[in-house]
Structure 1
Amino acid sequence: MSRTLLTRCSIVGITCLLPLSVLARPKAPVAEAAVEQGKFILHKFAQPIGLETWQITRQPGGYQLTDKFEFKDRGTPVPLTMKFAYDKTGTPQSFNIKGKNSRLSEIDQKVLVNANTVRVQVDGADRTLEKPKAFFPIAGYAPTAQQLMLMRYWINHGKPAALRTLPSGTVQIAKRGQDRFTLDGKPVLLDRYLVTGLIWGRETIWLDQSNNLVALVSIDAEFDHFESVREGFQSLLPSFLSKAGEDEMASMKEFAGKASSDPSKTLALVGGTLIDATGKPAIPDSVVVIANHRIVAAGPRAQVAIPDGATRVDTTGKTIMPGLWDMHAHFEQVEWGPIYLAAGVTTVRDCGNEFEFITAVRDELAKGNGIGPQLLPAGLVDGTGEKSLGVQRVDSDADAQKWVRKYHDAGFRQMKVYSSMTRENVASVARYAHQLGMSVTGHIPSTMGLVEGVEAGMDQVNHIVYLYDAMQAEGKSPMSKGLRKIKLEDLKSFSVASPEAQKTIEFMKAHHIVVDPTMALWEVVTRNWPSTPIASFEPGVSKLPPELSVSFAPPAEEKAEDKEKMELAFQRMLEIVGALHKAGIDIVAGTDQAIPGHSIYRELELYVKAGFTPLEALQSATSVPARVMGMDKETGTIEAGKRADIIILDANPLEEIKNIRSVDKVIANGVMYDAAPLWKSVGFKP
């Protein structure tokens, strides 16, 4: 002890020497060894983007699950921590979750269980309620380990038909079957479950024979694809995605049979005003005959014979027009199918998805399984970078050839390039796509401008912000790098009449470029403030289920300068859309999701605000997209021989474009549905 600091103490009169360090430092508690632990690999669009680590330890009276969940989404960290305590019978004692559950949203929730009550705190708001007989604390899709605990709780409590969750909600869990996989040459048997009520829509979960969670296919808080796979099972992810798509579509079959007409019977729509979208005047007192999924005849009642035995649908006082197209969709859940049909959308272009999921869903719909529109997926590719999306990487000419061929052979009509591509690789994608008769759409990658993207071979452009950037004078702040980074003085000085803007318009026209501006999305982004919430311009937001509507709450704070800048940015976007349309450039209606089902209506309303006639706005969602996708001989107008995609409205949108919101019935590929039950089937108000 020659160099140890000492102190004197007296214990019942005996002097002793102890190291000062022992007196100064209390004895550290011995860490409890984990009784169970694990790791999940976190994915977005099938791309591994993060890691979840968890462990269960003993504590007085029971156990505690501690979880660290973190991923990086296109350069933005999304960290989340959680602690969950429960007693030896599995009864919850406390739950504490804090952090971010997407790039755009934060979460701070606590549940404390007492003898007869439960105290719940959500983002600082505190309430106490009577303790339910059975309940489980959980806060959405993350973390995965808490979904594991939910499944075990449900199994141990007799697999109830419904289980209350706190802070809010009710979940339903159903076993759907067993799946056999091969992993490292060995057979693996997993039980497949469908979970509803935890997020908006369905999740698919696989448990092994010991009730350990192996995989979760869900969505995150941005409603993007999210998957979590237990370490060691990553190679099975494509199989999980494909199976989830097939099974979730199959789960909707029963409802589909109840909601639809018999497509084998001839239908006659009699008495309505017909807008055929060809550009001809509307036809009052019309007849449209449908048989074998096709339009047999359409025109004035006096000129169209109604076949004997046809089922007559009285459309007197109503308006008949082609089904709508949404040219910027992301069909990431099967629930989008009923939503699109309820809204009158009978064809969607999916602008980026997981290959296995979207092909499974598309094929099930084509076979008549489930409910949904005609799906036209675009093959997503991106380059390697911090903000890459998906797993389809194109970093060379060989990569481009491989992915274009794979998408083409799977029946895709179009490629979509994303933000991390180089000019050379965009050119390679475009060259191979054009050789195979495919077109190319997408973002303008961050390494180039609009002119370079078009010169590299892009045929179409997603989002109006890239047009604003191209129309600005050199040195001005761009929109595509973030709306909040734009300088107010640059917005004030912008004009679509400027030489730069006019040069861009002429360039677009000369190259026959098609634009889907996604104006309804940008309106939500720029105009959602406490003084002007979304409901002030988009009434559909009030019809969303609670799990969705919470995502559209305005920010807590409203700064006058920020609001002025955002609203002026949106006004400039409208001016650009109007100028493009006036110049004869094709504009196609697309929503990029935004307010599900309703933003397609707002998109058309905004086009009229930008200078379209009501008919031109309707054509941007019917005949124009059919033409630019090379399908105008098959669909897009109401003419004999074409696919029977039709909507019946309670009011005429040529009189007021807002009447497009009055969808009563939809006919998709000859099958007729009432809109109201479709809305209700996914938790929306009609």
Structure 2
Amino acid sequence: LYTTWNDVDAGAIFRVNLQGAAKPVKLTTEKGIYRMPSFSPDGKWIVFRKEGSSDVLGNAFTAQPGIYTMLANGGEQTFVTSRGDFPRFNKSSDRIYYQMGGGTNRNFASSDLKGLDERVHLKSTYGSQFTVSPDEAWIAFIDLHKAYVAAFPKTGKTIDIGSGTGDFPVKLVSKDAGFNLHWSNDSRQLHYTLGSQYFSINLEDRFSFIANKPDSLFKIPEQGIDVALEITTDKPKGIIAFTNARIITMKGNEVIENGTLVVEGNLIRAIGKSGEITAPAGATIIDCNGKTILPGFIDAHAHGNHFRSGIIPQKHWAYYTNLAFGVTTMHDPSANSELVFGQSEMIKAGLMTGPRVFSTGTVLYGADGNFKAVINSIDDARSALRRTKAFGAFSVKSYNQPRREQRQMIIQAARELNMEVVPEGGSTFYHNLSMILDGHTTIEHNIPVAPLFNDMIQLWKNAQTAYTPTLIVNYAGLSGEYYWYQHTNVWENERLLRFTPRGVIDPRSRHRTMAPEEEYENGYMLTSRSAKKLMDEGVKINMGAHGQIQGIGAHWEIWMMQQGGMSNLQALQTATINPAISLGLDKSIGSLEIGKLADLIVMDKNPLENIRNTESVHYTMVNGRLFDAATMNEIGNYKRSRSKFFWESNKNADSFPWHDGTETEAETCSCGQH
């Protein structure tokens, strides 16, 4: 039993017989966003969840999101309740279990098949993904990332459950983390995953009273079975030669006038003056007379709508918007780990179109929350980083860890695991200062003090910590985002609206804050001037647009760097070679050199003459694939037109999320932006 998704046809539920070569059978006739289907134990029914619309998937084709049932052979869908997710039948198939609530207030409940007679069995501060065994004797759950198993108490009252429960047996069964909990049919084994590892736990080994042997003999497994799924990385074929262009290579101050750049596959094979470089026979020639080529932009702090969970679209509009504006690499320092790394791998495999996506995954959150990372020892720090690295992260975000020694433990664990730490100080100057002293890779978001004086500048210079000020969301002063809403009609930007739902753009740009110019002068512009001072002393300053507005936000950040006194070339460096060096990616991207990956932008105008010319992106190439930036159709050696986004296929009001609610679960911190 499984669900499918198509951006045009929406979702469906299918059933397939695992015996023999049977073809899948479609069970649903209505379009919808279907999730979490499962059979009843007697095999007669299916329970599933229908989600509401969102600005990622579009119209949900239902006015009543919630839990539904349906005959196992398909047919009419029967609404049960609007509450809860992870629905499962009980063993007698006459009730449905589900999880309710969110954050630090989750419940595990059940109702009859009509959604009546609701009973709350369990409540938990940090617990989630409650999964009852088929015999209903056991309950598995996740508590602060780790997997636990408990006897399922049936007292007729609501029981508080968590990792510290002592009233009935609760046992830890994962070392660093466990996800996707599920049981064997005989209820004797619990299975879970972490990254590419698949783990199985025999209950008789964990609970002494089952097999009459001491559970002290049980050792939590460090390694599971490697799923060993390998997919070929996407790599285009053929040669493309860009001729007669101005090339800003980002090798120091190098600018090649009337140059040629040759791409073979996904690598740069030649670059130099046109008279010295000959396009190979059979190459596709792109005449760039009057145009400027520079490396693709790297957004070092790019929240790309990765907080959500659930269905992955075929086309993630945030990726298209970024590519259309020349952003070829995104580093997201806070995201839902399962979703962001899943989509990143789909891009690598050529199954999705998008920039290169890197991420810290879930932040190492120090304040309270059901996803916080409790760091009270170096082993806690090592465990938290191993958990993140298992998904594919090379960086972690230390965020709101309140004590300095906690942050130092994370730094030490990162050194041992060869990872980077990109922290945020929460707009606290001394918090940031200790991060610089302790050797963090970067500082994310601006220091909330301006101007910076020489003692601070020299300290920062010698610490070699990079800086991503995100002027677009400036601390201790008015944010740069509002400047551009005030001074430009963002809602009229045709390219932006071509790749972004109007329901996202209009509320932010039409109802705009109007402020005196000195508020901006004393806000983000002061921060930008401090960034200029730091850059002149050798500190790597990075462009990071924070996902405030996809695509165009990266350009605003570059322009705001220039407003603070940086030269146009320096401002461009913050979006290319600087973040590449800061993130350890400069051997592959960040500059245009032979042997590096073919990520580049072709602009109609010269950004060295006017920094606002960065918006004149004509072509974007990522990993050797060339796109017409105005349409995001693939061109060059491949001719592929993009399909429609949901708002292009369905222009009624239901396309926008405020009309029937967004039901996808989001993982975020208290400020709602991380």
TM more than 0.5: yes
Q: Distance in 2 between matches of 1:342 and 1:361?
A: 19
Greater helix proportion: 1
Q: Of 344, 360, 372, which aligns to 1:378? A: 360
Deviation at 1:423, TM superposition (A): 1.3
- Answer yes or no: is 1:514 the counterpart of 2:466: yes
Q: Distance in 2 between matches of 1:442 and 1:182?
A: 44
Deviation at 1:179, TM superposition (A): 5.5
Q: Of 467, 476, 485, which aligns to 1:534? A: 485
Q: Judge conservation of contact 1:338–1:682 (CA < 8 Å) in 2.
A: no
Aligned residue in 2 for 1:411:
392
Distance 1:684 1:192, change over 3 A: closer
Deviation at 1:230, TM superposition (A): 8.8
Deviation at 1:429, TM superposition (A): 0.8
Q: Judge conservation of contact 2:365–2:372 (CA < 8 Å) in 1.
A: no
Q: Which structure's relative contact order is higher, taking Cα pairs within 8 Å and 6+ residues apart? A: 2
- Answer yes or no: is 1:648 the counterpart of 2:602: yes
Aligned residue in 1 for 2:257:
284
Q: Of 524, 543, 557, which aligns to 1:603? A: 557
- Answer yes or no: is 1:199 the counterpart of 2:180: no
Q: Distance in 2 between matches of 1:638 and 1:188?
A: 58
- Post-superposition Cα deviations, 1:630-649, rounded to whole Å, max 9, x if no partner, equal 22121111111111101111
Distance 1:324 1:571, change over 3 A: closer
SS at 1:515's partner residue? Answer: strand
- Answer yes or no: is 1:312 the counterpart of 2:285: yes
1:504 maps to a residue whose letter is: M
- Answer yes or no: is 1:620 the counterpart of 2:584: no
Q: Which piece of structure 1 moves more, 533-542 or 637-646?
A: 533-542
Name structure 2 gaps, 5 residues minimum: 1-27, 70-77, 87-101, 110-127, 132-141, 143-178, 182-191, 194-233, 307-315, 634-641, 649-674
Distance 1:509 1:263, change over 3 A: same
Distance 1:404 1:276, change over 3 A: same
- Answer yes or no: is 1:585 the counterpart of 2:585: no
**Whose radius of gyration is greater, 1 or 2?**
1
SS at 2:256's partner residue? Answer: coil
Distance 1:441 1:182, change over 3 A: farther
SS at 2:340's partner residue? Answer: helix
Deviation at 1:578, TM superposition (A): 2.0
Q: Which piece of structure 1 moves more, 516-525 or 320-329?
A: 516-525
SS at 2:433's partner residue? Answer: helix
Alignment of 1:353-368 (within 5 A): 353-368=335-350
Deviation at 1:348, TM superposition (A): 1.0
Alignment of 1:237-636 (within 5 A): 239=180, 263-333=236-306, 334-386=316-368, 388=369, 390-444=371-425, 449-466=431-448, 468=449, 495-496=451-452, 501-522=453-474, 525-526=478-479, 534-537=485-488, 539=490, 542=493, 543-544=496-497, 545-553=501-509, 567-636=521-590
SS at 1:234's partner residue? Answer: strand
Distance 1:503 1:317, change over 3 A: same
Q: Distance in 2 between matches of 1:226 and 1:335?
A: 28
Q: Distance in 1 between matches of 2:416 and 2:646?
A: 44
- Post-superposition Cα deviations, 1:454-509, rounded to whole Å, max 9, x if no partner, equal 3344221011134x1xxxxxxxxxxxxxxxxxxxxxxxxx644xxxx221111111
CA RMSD of aligned residues (A): 4.1
Q: Distance in 2 between matches of 1:397 and 1:604?
A: 39
Name the TM-score, length of structure 1 as normaliser.
Answer: 0.58
Q: Distance in 1 between matches of 2:461 and 2:489?
A: 32
Deviation at 1:381, TM superposition (A): 3.4
Q: Of 649, 663, 667, which aligns to 2:621? A: 667
Q: Distance in 1 between matches of 2:578 and 2:45?
A: 49
Q: Judge conservation of contact 2:333–2:363 (CA < 8 Å) in 1.
A: no
Distance 1:567 1:190, change over 3 A: farther
2:274 maps to a residue whose letter is: R
SS at 1:303's partner residue? Answer: coil
Alignment of 1:55-204 (within 5 A): 159=30, 173-174=31-32, 198-199=54-55, 201-202=57-58
Deviation at 1:158, TM superposition (A): 8.4
SS at 2:632's partner residue? Answer: helix
Distance 1:227 1:342, change over 3 A: farther
1:411 maps to a residue whose letter is: G
Distance 1:676 1:381, change over 3 A: same
Name structure 1 gaps, 5 residues minimum: 1-156, 160-172, 218-224, 244-260, 469-493
Distance 1:438 1:202, change over 3 A: farther
- Post-superposition Cα deviations, 1:268-313, rounded to whole Å, max 9, x if no partner, equal 1122211111124322222211122111111112221211111112
Q: Judge conservation of contact 1:326–1:349 (CA < 8 Å) in 2.
A: yes
Distance 1:577 1:557, change over 3 A: closer
- Post-superposition Cα deviations, 1:196-228, rounded to whole Å, max 9, x if no partner, equal 6x53654888854344467789xxxxxxx9999
Distance 1:613 1:208, change over 3 A: same
Q: Distance in 1 between matches of 2:106 and 2:66?
A: 10
Q: Distance in 1 between matches of 2:302 and 2:481?
A: 22
Aligned residue in 1 for 2:116:
none
Deviation at 1:521, TM superposition (A): 3.1
Distance 1:206 1:622, change over 3 A: farther
1:345 maps to a residue whose letter is: V
Q: Judge conservation of contact 1:431–1:457 (CA < 8 Å) in 2.
A: no
- Post-superposition Cα deviations, 1:12-48, rounded to whole Å, max 9, x if no partner, equal xxxxxxxxxxxxxxxxxxxxxxxxxxxxxxxxxxxxx
Q: Of 613, 624, 630, which aligns to 1:676? A: 630
Q: Distance in 2 between matches of 1:313 and 1:648?
A: 10
SS at 2:329's partner residue? Answer: strand
1:319 maps to a residue whose letter is: T
Distance 1:519 1:538, change over 3 A: farther
- Post-superposition Cα deviations, 1:570-622, rounded to whole Å, max 9, x if no partner, equal 33212222221222211011111122211111111111122222112111111
- Post-superposition Cα deviations, 1:359-382, rounded to whole Å, max 9, x if no partner, equal 111111111111111111124433
Q: Distance in 2 between matches of 1:441 and 1:175?
A: 35
Identity of aligned residues (%): 23
2:550 maps to a residue whose letter is: P
- Post-superposition Cα deviations, 1:156-188, rounded to whole Å, max 9, x if no partner, equal x984xxxxxxxxxxxxx5467x7656999x999
Distance 1:280 1:660, change over 3 A: same
How many residues are matched? 454
Distance 1:441 1:612, change over 3 A: same
Greater strand proportion: 1
Q: Judge conservation of contact 1:194–1:202 (CA < 8 Å) in 2.
A: no
Aligned residue in 1 for 2:129:
234
SS at 2:271's partner residue? Answer: strand
Q: Which piece of structure 1 moves more, 353-362 or 229-238?
A: 229-238
Q: Judge conservation of contact 2:397–2:423 (CA < 8 Å) in 1.
A: yes
Q: Judge conservation of contact 2:66–2:84 (CA < 8 Å) in 1.
A: yes
SS at 1:295's partner residue? Answer: strand
Q: Distance in 2 between matches of 1:373 and 1:648?
A: 16
Q: Judge conservation of contact 1:206–1:215 (CA < 8 Å) in 2.
A: yes
1:199 maps to a residue whose letter is: D
1:465 maps to a residue whose letter is: I
